[in-house]
Amino acid sequence: MSQVLSVDGVDAGYGETQVLRDLSLSVEEGEVVSLVGRNGAGKTTTLRTINGILTPTAGTVTYRGEDISAFDPTETAKRGISLVPEERQIFPELSVMENLRLAEFGGTESESAHSVSVQEALDMFENLAERTGNPGSSLSGGEQQMLAIARALVAGADLILLDEPTEGLAPYIVQDVMDIVEEVNERGISVLLVEQNVHVGLELADRNYVIDQGRIVWEGTSEELESNRQILDRHLGVSV
């Protein structure tokens, strides 16, 4: 397996506020990796540092062998990194089709990226195919999440950074979103998934990192995490 992403010894934060402390993690080709942790642990900050919204004050972010630590979001998008933020970032006043068509522009220029056409995306997301003329704002939370993921695919994502995709969704929609993440991954796209819901991470991920106060405090497979009650209690406050 070749390495897609490597974050090494990264410090990052907001102005004087340091959030990430000597944080290291990696994603191998075709993996789903989860980053789980409590509220405020630094999960979103980690994704923002990878896609270039934030710049590390120490350490490096490497993508397919290239140091991207100083890149901005446009430059990381051209390499095939696509952040689907918690607030889902779709254009509410534009139709589903217009949202998808816009994603075709300004996406990746990377040769390694997996290009998905608008039609292929609509084939994957049946709910969206039935609503191509509807404005984004009329979609349910789950459908907006689907549209945000579909936009990432059409933009040619090679590594999708998913920030709490199941946040605020009804349980039966959570399963739909999880199915989609699996389907995306089956297309060979690597996924770094941020979740507060450890059950979602455990079910989808090949490997998990637990983050607490900006530091990685544990790393292992889902089976290992599930059987490690101490980690679950101490850092995640859950019992499985």
Minimum gap (Å) between residue 56 Cβ and ligand ATP: 14
Q: How many residues bind ligand ATP (CB under 6 A)?
A: 12
| 130 lies in the binding site for ligand ATP (CB under 6 A) | no
Site for ligand ATP in 72-91 (CB under 6 A): none
> The tokens of 1 are what?
């397996």
- Which residue among 5, 7, 12, 19 contacts ligand ATP (CB under 6 A)? 19
Question: Please, which residue, 2 or 39, has the CB nearer to ligand ATP?
Answer: 39
Q: How far is the CB of 19 from ligand ATP (least distance, A)?
A: 4
CA 201 centroid distance within chain = 12
CB closer to ligand ATP out of 39 and 239 = 39
| CA 112-50-182 angle, 5° bins | 60
Structure-block tokens of residue 77: 């998008």
Give the per-residue contact string, 137-176, with ligand ATP (x = CB under 6 A; - = no): ----------------------------------------
* Shortest Å, Cβ 132 to ligand ATP: 32
Between 17 and 230, CB nearer to ligand ATP? 17
Question: Which of the residues 26 through 55 are near ligand ATP (CB under 6 A)?
Answer: 37, 39-45
* Chosen residue from 1, 2, 17, 172 binding ligand ATP by CB under 6 A: 17
Q: How far apart are alpha carbons 191 and 194 in whole angstroms?
A: 10
Locate 123 and state its tokens: 């084939």
In sequence order, what are the residues at sequence separation of 6 or more whose Cβ sits closer than 8 angstroms to the Cβ of residue 95? 132, 133, 134, 135, 136
CB 38 within 8 A of CB 53: no
Token duo for residue 160: 């999708």
Strands 17-28 and 3-14: antiparallel
Show Cβ contacts of residue 107 under 8 Å, excluding neighbours closer than 6 positions: 77, 78, 82, 113, 154, 155, 156, 157
Site residues (vs ligand ATP, CB under 6 A): 14, 17, 19, 37, 39-45, 196
